[in-house]
Structure 1
Amino acid sequence: GEGKPAALTPGVTIRAIPQPVTTVLPPLTPPAAATAPADDAGRLEAALKSGRLLLILPLFALLGLGLSFTPCVLPMVPILSSIIVGEGADTSRARGLLLSVAYSLGMAIVYTALGVGAGLAGAGLSAALQNAWVLGAFALLMAGLSLSMFGYYELQVPAALQSKLSTVSNRQSSGKLAGVFVMGAISALIVGPCVAAPLAAALLYISQSRDVVIGGAALFAMAVGMSVPLMLVGVSAGALLPRAGMWMDAVKRFFGVLMLAMGWWLVSPVLPPAVQMMGWVVLLTGYGIYLLAHRGKWVAKLAGVAAAVLGLMQLVGVASGGRDPLAPLAHLGAKHETLSFQRIKTVQQLDALLAQTGGRTVMLDFYADWCVSCKEMEKLTFVDPQVRAKLAHSLLLQVDVTANDADDKAMLKRFGLFGPPGIILFDKQGREIDGARVIGFQDAAKFTASLSRLN
């Protein structure tokens, strides 16, 4: 009965005790899953280890769709839009979709290949790609392509290649698709630096298991998800683009300026902030003056005024000591307190500090100048009063891996990271808190919840 404990039946005895046994008796053999990280990347890695493609592919495609609205992926939309506009006013929806598929396929294949290579190598390729030569070359390519939007030349495949392509399809169409595919492949460099939780999980899975089939399939599915906005651009081409006349020429010039802006944005991480801001001054004021000087409708005049004002804001900002192109006048207003980090460089420095925490918890932040999400965390998350209050009694450390030298690689390898952004939390004894890693951008509310593990 209920009052008779079954002494010879351990399971019944446990159920009869009012307090849960698990609070008193530790498990004899803790399951392997108990030591797995409980953060987003850890859960995704567990999904990958299940090996079920019917679960993995839709999951990572959905995650890719979410990533498609991040600052790292959105720049591909104007690039593809420029290509479609360059087709002319007679572009149909089917043609626009075909161009977007070619572009997206090029991006997805190269993105997957870079990810698999990074996973097998055990280090992120994003930092290696974020140097002046690679970014400068891509910026020059964007500038060169923008000239076609201004009517200086027409993109055309060489005649010899056209004659070969004509045997299978229309020569101009096939050649254009090949060029768009290559542009998509190059654009994968834009997506590469974004290390969010899904990408980190896939890279970690590949590096540990060497299973390029599952890991590569997850990366490709994620790239397909990121391509959804591009597909929508292609499908809507026939409905959104103007048909002919001066409007079409104005739209082409606008996309030419947009491509110049994209080139400058891509090369900005390797330029001093003052130089970045002066570039925006030239581009924005120049385009604004052009729109105001030429005859056009009130929409063009309004756009010209807006561009000129934005350019003048950049000029006033850089002249008055501002060094933030995204907020050129912020230094003139109220100062927002942010977190103050102690910079470290080597694993030895980190170990020394963790050995003597002084009874404080520790937060280690991985940062790089080219990391868009890192700067989002600085401007939107680290300034939040609740975040600063949570970390008021913690030791705040930061390692800058912009240089990607031997010390930076060793620090990343120490924690199995493939690049920033990444935040590691440690307890008062200097031990990493399981399942408390923050990979990718988190807003103030979510980051505050993540910091609850420090207590």
Structure 2
Amino acid sequence: MRLVVLCALLQVGVVYAQESDPFGVEAEVVSEAGALRVDFMLRVPDKHYLYAKELGVTFAGGNAELLSRPDPVPKMDPFLEEMVDVFGSDFRLSYRLSKPVPDGMSVAVAYMGCNAELCFMPQRRQFEIRTVGEGMWKIVPVSADVSAEPSVSADAKDGLFEGFVLDGRDSGYMSVDEFLAFVGRVESGTGLQRGRLELIVDEHGLWIGVLAILFLGMLLNFTPCVLPMIPVNLAIIGAGAQAGSRQRGFLLGAVYGLAIALVYGALGVAVVLTGAQFGALNASPWVNFAIGILFAGLALAMLGVFNLDFTRFQPQGIRAKSGHPFLTAALFGGVAALLAGACVAPVVISVLVLSTELYPSVGRAALLLPFVLGLGMALPWPFAGAGLAWLPKPGRWMEKVKLVFGVLILGAAVYYGYLGWTLLAPKSAVPEVDAESFWMTSPEAAVEAARRLDKPLFIDFWASWCKNCRAMDAKTLKDPAVREALGKYVRLKFQAEHLSDPETKKILD
């Protein structure tokens, strides 16, 4: 039997493991006349925030007066889609305790926070105020109300899920497109695999990942969409044999390559900071029709049906060799980056996805990854512009290359037109199903149904404190396409409110 796990509770590397708490609490006591002042310093990492509503401090066995607390700031919660009050940076809380203060007084600090991608479990930090001498006290951490939690084993051989094999797992918030892509990976047998770039970064660190992306960019120049066009592009920008000198050709090639890197870098910043989703664009029939029309026009021009001369829209000075050749090189480099074609698109999208995933944890450094890819693609161009001997010389063969590419691009135009038509065609109606009947809530009943019906079992772990879960319930899991994809599964929605609860452990073990 097959088992698929979705855990929107946490962003984890295993099926259901405790994510390390990125926040922190430190405490100190200061003796004052007739009272103790207790200060709590709460650490909030960059691009993280704590919910003001979830913050609380309790003193057992004593009366505490709040002396100071900074005002929270309003923020649009990406999970709840409403304005909430949060603390977005380190802050201090101060309380006054009237003496006498009993030795061993227990103090608890509770909080919950998120970043742009996920919300973390509610935390409860325990402290004790202890007497260390006449008129002297200290506050010490006792324990965090966090324990290592078990994870679903890959084979799930023991307990309730005996005989089931884990086919897929994922965690954190997923949009409709991301969820459907996850189900597709499960159906293709790759639901437990991660992207090569993600694995490289996880296993060897960010800098090794940067070098791998740089090398990938260099390899893109040897794809069928790019390599045959290198001499053509060099001739257009006046580099190579037409440069007049190796130094001039080197500089022209460098400007051309730098434009490629800048375009990919700008694309990465736009995608990461705006949260743009390529899947949503690809799912639009009108976007696919537009791409098909563009490709059809380019194909007909390459086949000689008509002459497509973009240079006539440029000022005379740019077209002239004695005018602005470096501006011409930069313009064509940028255009070449955008029209590189299907050969480079999968790699570019993979790097953009990786950059988006790393941005919440590594910050602005993740924005540079698409630029690094473009830089790798740009590296050979200065040397090509200098006229290295390994480059083929321009000749009649270029006309044949144009014809071949014209046919290929025409085929791509037909493909995108067909894809747009299929997306435009009315889909089969998906009956409306209420949440109560769509999901089962009893693990035992769901397992029995999966065995009896010989269907795979899909488990969605959730909790009332989980912002990711609430967002997915409100959007992703109500989408008709998602429900249609889940129709082939027995669906279990399991509330894992307290991870240390014996009933919860029984499901996770």
Structure 1 or 2: more strand by fraction: 2
Q: Please state which band the TM-score falls in when normalised by the shorter chain.
A: 0.3 to 0.5
The structure with the greater share of residues assigned to helix is: 1
Structure of higher CA gyration radius: 2
